[in-house]
């Protein structure tokens, strides 16, 4: 999937000359936590978020610098004062615009969000704002892709078994030699040996993500690989996964 597939095309923006009161009002009215800042040409010059409005003297949350901090880093203290007492939007933005192109992969988008510690990324094409992607948009895309969207389509037990084992085979930690499964009425029944309880958890996750699976019965034995001593065994109880 690409950025253009999940981005919100109806973007609420604000001018850098606007007041912080205007910015706060737009966020509250539209139930959003950030606004791209654009100039008269429609070019994005920055982003203002709820976080930029948290440290304010009006609500008693402005930072108070000690004399030592002022002595050691007067410039930083002055910058903090600007951020907490600014009246215009452009007084808070840095001009360092973090953005992506419409054809950027979602992996790129997430990497930017994580590395730059941002919650939303403007989507820009030919210098113009065409959309914005927030974390909520990524969660919405995930929701649509999770198993369950194809309810009503018949999936045979044989198909469930093939899909499950194919995914096990694709994992470096997987072992078809020691793990086998049967599927009855959509319930995956696991038998065999594992050498680590984390493998049991991973096999359950594979079952949860297998299209058509309705549950799992765990008959796996976890053994110590050198001595062959049984460490734990699965429960025969059915665990619903779909």
Tell me what pLDDT residue 103 has: 94
Co-location of 123 and 162 in the same domain: no
Co-location of 39 and 115 in the same domain: yes
Co-location of 27 and 122 in the same domain: yes
Tell me what pLDDT residue 152 has: 45
Co-location of 99 and 163 in the same domain: no
Residue with tokens 């203002």: 48
| CATH number assigned to the domain comprising residue 10 | 3.10.580.10
Co-location of 183 and 126 in the same domain: no
Interatomic CA distance for residues 63 and 85, integer angstroms: 11
116 part of a folded domain: yes
Co-location of 20 and 93 in the same domain: yes
180 part of a folded domain: yes
Interatomic CA distance for residues 76 and 85, integer angstroms: 14
Q: Give the end of a domain, one of 116, 144, 172.
A: 144
Per-residue pLDDT tens digits of the chain, which is 242 residues long: 899 999 999 999 999 999 999 999 999 999 898 999 999 888 999 999 998 898 888 888 877 767 666 666 777 777 788 778 888 999 988 768 889 999 999 999 999 999 998 889 999 998 899 999 998 889 888 877 765 544 445 678 998 999 898 888 888 776 555 788 899 988 999 988 888 888 888 998 998 888 888 889 998 888 887 887 888 877 666 666 65
149 part of a folded domain: no
Encoded tokens for 100: 């992506």
Co-location of 164 and 223 in the same domain: yes
Closest CA to 12 of 23, 4, 1: 23
Tell me what pLDDT residue 179 has: 83
114 part of a folded domain: yes
Q: Give the end of a domain, one of 123, 144, 165.
A: 144
Tell me what pLDDT residue 93 has: 86
Co-location of 119 and 7 in the same domain: yes
Co-location of 23 and 119 in the same domain: yes
Co-location of 162 and 128 in the same domain: no
What pTM value is reported for the model? 0.58
51 part of a folded domain: yes
Q: Give the end of a domain, one of 105, 120, 144.
A: 144
| CATH number assigned to the domain comprising residue 213 | 3.30.1340.30
Per DSSP, the residues of 148-214 read TTTTTS---HHHHHHHHHHHHHTSTT--TTTEEEEEETTEEEEEEEES-HHHHHHHHHHHHTSTT--
Tell me what pLDDT residue 96 has: 80
150 part of a folded domain: no
Interatomic CA distance for residues 201 and 226, integer angstroms: 22
SS3 48: strand
Contact by Cβ (8 Å): 43, 127: yes
Contact by Cβ (8 Å): 184, 165: no
The domain containing residue 19 runs over which residues?
3-144
Domain count, the chain: 2
Residue with tokens 């001593």: 229
Task: Indicate if the alpha-carbon torsion angle 99, 103, 106, 111 is positive or negative.
Answer: negative
Co-location of 124 and 222 in the same domain: no
Co-location of 24 and 130 in the same domain: yes
């Amino acid at each position: 999937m690409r950025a253009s597939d999940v981005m919100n095309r109806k973007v609420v923006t604000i001018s850098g000359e606007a007041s912080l009161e205007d910015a706060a009002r737009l966020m509250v009215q539209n139930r959003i936590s950030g606004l791209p800042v654009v100039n008269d040409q429609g070019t994005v010059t920055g982003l203002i978020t709820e976080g930029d409005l948290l440290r304010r003297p009006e609500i008693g949350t402005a930072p108070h610098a000690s004399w030592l901090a002022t002595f050691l880093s007067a410039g930083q203290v002055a910058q903090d004062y600007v951020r907490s007492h600014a009246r215009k939007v452009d007084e808070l933005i840095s001009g360092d615009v973090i953005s992506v192109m419409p054809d950027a992969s979602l992996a790129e988008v997430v990497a930017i969000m994580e590395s730059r510690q941002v919650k939303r990324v403007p989507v820009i094409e030919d210098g113009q704002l065409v959309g914005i992607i927030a974390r909520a948009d990524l969660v919405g895309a995930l929701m649509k892709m999770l198993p369950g969207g194809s309810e009503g389509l018949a999936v045979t037990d044989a198909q469930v078994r093939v899909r499950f084992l194919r995914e096990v085979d694709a994992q470096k930690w997987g072992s078809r030699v020691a793990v086998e499964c049967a599927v009855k009425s959509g319930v995956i029944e696991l038998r065999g040996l594992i050498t680590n309880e984390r493998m049991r958890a991973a096999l359950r996750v594979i079952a949860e993500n297998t299209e058509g699976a309705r549950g799992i019965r765990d008959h796996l034995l976890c053994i110590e690989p050198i001595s062959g001593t049984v460490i734990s065994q699965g429960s025969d109880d059915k665990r619903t996964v779909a």
